[in-house]
Each structure stands twice: as C-alpha cells, then as structure tokens.
Amino acid sequence: MALCTWEGAMKLKTLLLVSLFVLAGSLALGLSASAQQAMPSDAQLLRTYNANREISLVGTVVKYETASENPPMGAHVSIQTPSGQVDVHLGNAKLLEASHLSLNAGDNVRIIGEPMALGEGTYFAARIVQKGTLAVAVRNPKGFPLKPASTLTQAQKEALRGVR
C-alpha cells in the first residue's frame, strides 16, 4: 500500500513540474515576442523627429532654394561636407528672411538636425541653422517646422489695429 501512495505522489510531482516548465516557457516566448514588436525598425525611427538623435553638419552652401521641387515642400539648401553633398530641408523660407539670415553659395554654415525618412529615401531635417554668429531655429524640438511670427510690416500692423 505504501508503494502505491509513493507512485501517486511522484506522478503528481512530475505532472506539476512539467506544467510549471510549460507555463514558464509560454511566458518567456510571450515576453520575447512582445519585446520584438516594441523595437521599431530604422525606417520607423527615421519617420519621427527625436532631438536626442540630432547631429551637426558643417559645410559650405552649394545651392539655396526658397521653394524646392524636391519633397518635403519648403526651402532647401545643398551643403558640401567632408563626407559629401547633403540636401537639407529648412522649412519656411520666410522664417529665415524674417530672421535676416541669407544663404548664398560659398557661405560656411553649421546645421543641427537629423536624417529623416521620406518614401524610399531620406533627407536631412534642420532644426537650427547657423551662419557666423547668427543662429535661427527652423523647427521645434519635436521636429515641426516653425513659421515666422509675423510677415506684416509695422505700418500694416498699425492699419489692422482695431479691425475685428
């Protein structure tokens, strides 16, 4: 009789151990699968601006366009860096104009921003453009292009005062 009780206890113990291992294995697989889904691809990372990934480009202006044909829409500058030519999206050209920043071929510039994905390619999204001692923010830290505070002259502002 004692032998039967011992066999039953061993079967129960074995069954509990096997069940525990199956449960632990299922949890481990579930956690690794959710961790893999949480890791975005490089292309997904490049679709959202992150100020922690910003880099600084230093180079010479090759060409500046206030309204480029290349996407994204807005001002673009091509700069020659030691590692090659880079197309940089600057956003709203009127913001640069309002800040008295002009870009001409041959100008030395420093641009802080990051590469961004667009379709199958990439472009460099500038957040700060610096020429000499003048630095202009063209994007906010979340990567959204800024607009000039106002494009109206002082006389135009005075003429609109009181109009509702």
For 21-41, how does the pLDDT look when each residue is reduced to its tens digit (9 = 90+)?
565 556 555 555 444 444 445
For 120-159, how does the pLDDT look when each residue is reduced to its tens digit (9 = 90+)?
777 899 999 999 999 999 988 888 888 887 556 677 667 7
Provide φ and ψ at 144, rounded to 5°. -85, 130
| SS3 per-residue string spanning 46-90 | CCCCCHHHCEEEEEEEEEEECCCCCCCCCEEEEEEECCEEEEEEE
Q: Domain 45-137 sits in which CATH superfamily? A: Nucleic acid-binding proteins (2.40.50.140)
What pTM value is reported for the model? 0.63
Domain locations in the chain as residue ranges:
1-39, 45-137
